[in-house]
Amino acid sequence: MPDHATALADLAESVGRALVQYSQAIRPRPATDDTASPSPLAPAGKRQRAALELAGIHTEAGLSAAEIASGVGITQPNAYSLATRMVEAGWLVQVADAEPRRWRSVEGQ
């Protein structure tokens, strides 16, 4: 059985994820001009933008967490979390049947 600090940390993390999803769901979307060509998604974070600037992220094969980590300058566990969050936000998709896991931009499909 986990200690109280671990249980509290797990609860806080779960509540945080739920709040992020809720805020994304209720956030008003900017009006679009139907005459303009659609613009690519614009990630808000510095690391998200850096990940989308990696050349391999736009290929069919995509990139692994290690490749994203190396290109963005973060640890591999943080790259995995970054890619997972970017999938949730709609900027990346996970490459099917890739082992280890790989991700690519939605434009790379």
Q: What residues pair up with 104 in beta bridges, in sequence order?
A: 93
> What mean pLDDT, rounded, does the chain reach?
80
C-beta of residue 106 within 8 angstroms of C-beta of residue 91: yes
pLDDT score for 73: 95
SS3 at position 56: helix
pLDDT score for 14: 76
15-67 residue pLDDT tens: 777 777 777 778 776 655 444 433 455 567 899 989 999 999 999 999 999 99
pLDDT score for 82: 94
Instruction: Enter the pTM of the model.
Output: 0.59
